Structure 1
Amino acid sequence: MKLNIKYTGKILLIALVALGTGCKKFLAEQDPSNLSPDTYYTIPEHGEAGVAAAYAQTRFIGNGAGIFVANFSMLEMVTGTARTETGQNSDLNNLLGLSFNGENLLVRNWWAGLYNVIAQTNQVTDKVPGISPMDETRKAQIIGEAKFLRAWAYFYLVRLYGDVPLVTVPQTINSPDFYPTRTSTELIYKQIVDDLTAAEAAGLPWKVTSGTASKGAVKSLLAKVYLTMAGQPLNKGAAYYKLAADKSLEVINNGSFKLFDSYGDLHNIKKENDVEHIFEIQYLATVAANPMQQLLLPNFKDVSAYSDEVGSTVPTTEFYESFEPGDLRTKDREGFFYTSYYTGGNGALKQLNAPYIYKHFDSLAHGTFEVKGTTQSDLNWPQIRYAEVLLIYAEAQNRADGAPNAEAYAAVNKIRKRALLTELSGLGQTAFEEAVWRERWHELCYEGITWFDMVRLRKVYNVKTQGFDNFVGHKFPASQATVLAEKHLLFPLPTVEVKNNPNLRPQNPGY
């Protein structure tokens, strides 16, 4: 089931963020050219529209970043698990070679996109409380959804850039903190936890299939935040591992979510926002089509109804080969990868001689055997899956209690059982922890998660040894000249932002 933001978000975003023409049924007696947040948020429908626009803003992750690239690629190029088959985009190449700086367009787009989400949610949390009359239950839910999205945005920002400006009220050019300074990482995390705790108590349903935030999504994100706070850079340790374990266990015990039986259901449009998908970025071709499909295809190998097959972000062979023998996730066109596909998307099967990402593959758009593709993708982009919640619990419980319990084994073994792998048993704390980390690298690959695991753990999966190297000094397998350094634990602040606001200085170390 699709959320109505796919239809309304794009329109309402214009009204609420760009302050252009509005929805006539909401504003029949007002001059659309004179809209402002103060005059707009006057009836309940405006609150619904405001939060819908915030959801729509999350789609910046799939927006373009120059020729043949979208923003999502930034989080994959710096992990050593991805490569590119196109060399035209220098920003992408610089990320792949770890030679990027604050001029990089993707670095700039992530900053701007996340702060756009924050700007819209700040409008909602500031203006919706004053709408009257309005059903108080729904009002609380809308504010809770907005706080969830604000926390989601700040969680990305603090992990990407470290100390960042904390802005929680609408801004104008006359605002006293229009040129804000950077807020400590500790205080940013406090705001994230405060927002999620408020959202948790906002009366949201445990599960929804419309694409909006649910209580299950709030608790899952909070578990993820606690796990991150337990690690670097805050290093809060056992107490926060315990918080992460307890919160993820709430999601597990509630029973609203479960793993899909088939990996194919991960990219089955009929099963979006349901079962294993706890929260996703919403797409609908008639309003905002999924723009990542062409970018993930092999570079012009004629395997799709799309005419442009880019190969912008594809797996490294070394990472693909690091999966255990027999792992169903590597099975061609059944797991997370494909090594063959149909000519033109619907013709004879052809071998590709390299692995490509099947986890996000929209077969309706590309085509299947004897069925021509539509070249229009409605496929959502995952943000939180139940598989991740299981792995959060397994890792956090083991660290909090000093050894894995039966529930931790059960959690990780559900992942392994689906992959047709031998279940884990009899491991000590360290061996179990590293086994869970390996599952995270393999199960959560190409979902924008691996980089943040590298940073919080200060470890990187070594695809050759199957062990874990220290972050600083790790060499990417595809290029031994590409070496992670201390400065790579954070991205640089965008140069244009630092120029426009000197209060953001100094730049992150090493840039």
Structure 2
Amino acid sequence: MKFNLKQLGIGLILILTMTFSSCKKYLDEKNKSDFVKTGYFQNASQARTFVNGIYTSLYFFQNGDAYGESPFITIELFAGHATSLGQSVNNGNVINQRTDAVNPGFETVWRGSYNAIAQTNLALEQIPTVSMTDADRNKLLGEVYFLRAFFYYHLVRLYGDVPLITKPVSVNDPDLYPSRNPVASIYDLIIADLTAAQASGLPATDQTGKVSLGAVNTLLASVYLTTAGFPLNKTENYAKAAATAELVLPSYTLFDNYAFLHDNAHKNQGELIFQSQYLVGVRDNAIPQLTVPFNLPVGAYGDHLGAMMPTNQFVASYETGDLRTQERQFYFSSYPQFGDPSKTVIFGSHALYKYFHVESATGNGISDENWTFLRLPEAMLIYAEATNEVNGPTPQAYQQVNFIRTRAKLPALSGLTKDQFREAIWKERYHELAYEDKAYFDIQRTHKIYNVINNTFGDATSTPNEQGVTMKAQYYLWPIPQREINTNKNLTQNTGW
């Protein structure tokens, strides 16, 4: 059920596009209809349900279509280490750096993020007026502060200067057609929101899909690491990134089986810090269909889209003996044919086993695997990288990287210079967090790209990737969606678009 007062400008902000369809892990009571701002926040139960509804905004990152387009794929294709075997013209244009501001993926992320931010702004305004215990109110506000920061963090990295909206907007409000605010001011709000969430009394971990203190600290550590690089270059934030990431490490444990990253039994557990929740019969997704080989009978899916396929060169860039590259670990190149498992389907290339969902592939083809936004190895590698920038390779920094390498059956790192250790950590980020929408953001903050052919890092705008494409400088940011430019005369376009 959606309630739209008016749909203008940024999607927007407006007065609210409220969606009350959700996974049962989010919603504890029946959806309310006939929502009005003045009458909904009357008790703690209503406030809880409203916040549960905000979580459903996370789904747009995995929304896909029959051509294999989805924001989580678009973000990854910008990094240059994936191909698309499906029918999407837009995916091909991104890979070959000839896309433009009318690419629908750009609008999906912009509009979806600002609709979610509109909901968080209303929640932050109304929840303080609701009768409930102080502890419950503070925790609820902590979740909302995290979610607003989460969506703004995606906006500022993808689009640069963006409108900064921190209160509900009415049809007569000047913020209905806002101008763009500087990147630094967006990050100030993100850090302030996450700092407020830190102090809100959230639990250290959460296995129901809601925000935890671990999620807050992991995201804040990522923000500090990002702001230490381009475009702000606030190098003093490396120390803050290390200290914040260190807070996360005692609360989570690495899985001893990579299959647990994408099965149903281990959702929200172990190393999984923050996920988008899916459940058959409530909300499903096309993640496995989008990432299995194109038009090959691998699983019970109606579509096999091949929309995001790792390049063979990237898979070959892992060290010899790396467990992650062995069959059915992070990748796979063959699988029993659906309907006749006595036959084996040979792909002719690698596909992402990291997102293969055995339950749906061997069942009815309906996927409810969770999408992971944050997990422990990212916090470990943030800690190691940021610590190295401040103090060089410390024993503690080595320890965190080597935990990840030991699981991958690789020898421990030792005896490296600061510069060598920095690149070793960057490679580990590429290899451990592969195809998790981290690589493009690493390119943005470092202005370096991983040259998998030579196993080195080069300048992002002069080093061809394994597909022979050299990144254009304009690709450090996405364009402001053309529909928004056309609607709001106060918006300007990013350079080159």
What is the TM-score of this pair, normalised by structure 2? 0.93
Work out the CA distance in 2 between the residues paired with 1:336 and 1:346.
24
Matched residue, 1:6 = none
User: Are positions 1:241 and 2:227 aligned together?
Assistant: no
Q: Distance in 2 between matches of 1:473 and 1:341?
A: 38
Report the residue type matching 1:497 in the other structure.
E
**Paired letter, 1:308:** D
Q: What is the match of residue 376 of structure 2?
A: 386
CA distance in 2 between counterparts of 1:375 and 1:328 reads: 28
- After superposition, the C-alpha distances for 1:243-282 in whole angstroms (9 at most, x for unaligned) are 0001111111xx2101111111111211111110000111
Q: How do residues 414-425 of structure 1 correspond to structure 2 at under 5 angstroms?
A: 414-425=403-414
Letter in 2 for 1:313: M
Q: 1:503 aligns with which of 487, 490, 494?
A: 490
From the superposition, tell whether residues 366 and 66 of structure 1 become closer, same or farther in structure 2 (CA, over 3 Å). Answer: closer
Deviations 1:304-361 (A, max 9, x none): 111211111111111111111111001111x210111110176123322211001111
- How far residue 183 of structure 1 moved from its aligned partner, in angstroms, is 0.7
Where does residue 336 of structure 2 map in the other structure? Answer: 342
In 2, distance between residues paired with 1:26 and 1:467? 54
Change (3 A) 1:128 1:331: same
Call closer, same or farther: CA 1:390–1:27 in 2, change over 3 Å.
Answer: closer
Could you say which residue in structure 1 is the equivalent of 2:293?
298
* Contact 1:327-1:421 at 8 Å conserved across structures: yes
* Distance in structure 1 (CA, Å) of the matches to 2:251 and 2:442: 26
State whether structure 2 residue 249 is matched by structure 1 residue 259.
Answer: no
Contact 1:164-1:183 within 8 A present in 2 as well: yes
SS in 1 for 2:121: helix
- Verify: 1:376 aligned to 2:377, yes or no: no
Measured in 1, the distance between the counterparts of 2:460 and 2:160 equals 17
CA contact (8 A) 2:335 2:346 kept: yes
2:98 maps to 99
Q: Which amino acid aligns with 1:74?
A: T
- Alignment CA distance shift 1:346-1:407 (3 Å): farther
What letter is aligned with 2:379?
V
3-state secondary structure, aligned to 2:175: coil
Aligned to 1:59: 59
Question: Matched residues in 1 for 2:409 and 2:31: separation?
Answer: 57
Distance 1:455 1:300 in 2: 34
Aligned partners of 2:167, 2:404: CA distance in 1, in Å? 41
| Deviation readout 1:457-481 (Å, 9 max, x if unpaired) | 0000000110001011221212x2x
Secondary structure at the aligned position of 1:446 is classed as coil
Distance, in Å, in 1 between the alignment partners of 2:163 and 2:136 is 30
C-alpha distance in structure 2 between counterparts of 1:66 and 1:347, whole Å: 27
Equivalent position of 1:460 in the other structure: 449
For 1:325, the aligned partner's letter is: T
Aligned residue for 2:416? 427
Distance 1:39 1:265, change over 3 A: same
- Aligned equivalents of 2:280, 2:162: Cα separation in 1: 34
Structure 1 counterpart of 2:293, which letter? P
How far off its partner does 1:68 sit? 2.6
Moved more, 458-467 or 120-129: 120-129
Mapped to 1, the partners of 2:340 and 2:4 lie a distance apart of 39
Q: Name the residue aligned to 1:487.
A: 474
Q: Are 1:323 and 2:318 matched, yes or no?
A: yes
- Structure 1 residue 71 and structure 2 residue 71: aligned? yes
1:41 CA drift (Å)? 1.2
Comparing 322-331 with 70-79, which one deviates more in the overlay? Answer: 70-79
8 Å Cα contact 2:239/2:387 also seen in 1: yes
Kept in 1, the 8 Å contact 2:169–2:176? The answer is: yes
Corresponding position of 2:37: 37
- Which of 202, 205, 214 lines up with 2:203 in the alignment? 205
Structure 1 residues not aligned, in runs of 5+ = 1-10, 368-372
What is the distance in 1 between the residues matched to 2:339 and 2:415? 46
Do 1:245 and 1:393's aligned partners in 2 also have CA atoms closer than 8 Å?
yes
RMSD of the alignment, in Å? 2.0
CA contact (8 A) 1:345 1:366 kept: no
| Separation in structure 1 between the aligned mates of residue 104 and residue 401 of structure 2, nearest angstrom | 38
Partner residue, 2:263? 268
**Partners of 1:65 and 1:106 within 8 A in 2:** no
The answer to whether the 8 Å contact 2:334/2:345 transfers is yes
Partners of 2:257 and 2:18 lie apart in 1 by: 45
**Match of 1:270, SS?**
coil
Asked if the contact 2:18/2:53 (under 8 Å) is kept, the reply is: no
1:155–1:189 Cα contact (<8 Å) kept: yes
Deviation larger for 166-175 or 382-391: 166-175
2:107 alignment partner in structure 1: 108
> Is the contact between residue 303 and residue 345 of structure 1 (CA under 8 Å) also seen in structure 2?
no
Identity %: 38
Equivalent-residue separation in structure 2 for 1:164 and 1:422 (angstroms):
44
**Number of equivalences:** 481
Change (3 A) 1:21 1:421: closer
Which of 440, 451, 457 does residue 440 from structure 2 map onto?
451
Contact 1:304 1:346 in 2 (8 A): no
Structure 2 CA distance for aligned equivalents of residues 430 and 319 of structure 1: 22
The 8 Å contact of residues 58 and 281 in structure 1, kept in 2 or not, is answered as: yes
The aligned counterpart of 1:3 is: none
User: Which residue in 1 is equivalent to 2:305?
Assistant: 310
Contact kept, 8 Å, 1:19 with 1:36, in 2: the verdict is: no
Please name the residue that 2:226 is paired with.
228
**457-466 or 92-101: bigger deviation:** 92-101
Aligned pair in 2 of structure 1 residues 20, 111: CA closer, same or farther (>3 Å)?
closer
Q: CA–CA distance in 2 between the matches of 1:366 and 1:291? A: 11
Q: Deviations over 1:378-403 (max 9, x none)?
A: 210000010111100110000011x1
Change over 3 Å in CA distance of 1:312–1:13 after alignment to 2:
farther
Mapped to 1, the partners of 2:339 and 2:103 lie a distance apart of: 34
Give 1:442's aligned residue: 431
Asked whether 1:139 is paired with 2:125, we answer no
CA 1:397 to 1:300, structure 2 compared with 1: closer, same or farther past 3 Å? same
Corresponding position: 1:470 with 2:469: no
How far apart in 2 are the matches of 1:207 and 1:13?
33
Q: Any residues of structure 2 matched to 1:181-200 within 5 Å, and which?
A: 181-200=179-198
Once residues 49 and 198 of structure 2 are traced to their aligned partners in structure 1, the CA distance between those partners, rounded to angstroms, is 21
State how far apart, in whole Å, the 2-side matches of 1:328 and 1:259 are.
15
Which one-letter code corresponds to 1:153 in the other structure?
F
Query: What is the CA distance between 1:451 and its match in structure 2?
Result: 0.2
2:278 pairs, out of 266, 278, 283, with 283
2:338 aligned counterpart, secondary structure: helix
SS at match of 2:221: helix
Q: Provide closer, same or farther for how the CA distance between residues 105 and 65 of structure 1 changes in structure 2, counting only shifts above 3 A.
A: farther
Residues 84/131 of structure 1: CA separation in 2 closer, same or farther (3 Å cut): same
- Give 1:72 deviation, angstroms: 1.2
Question: What is the TM-score of this pair, normalised by structure 1?
Answer: 0.91
| 1:12-31 correspondence to structure 2 within 5 Å | 17-18=16-17
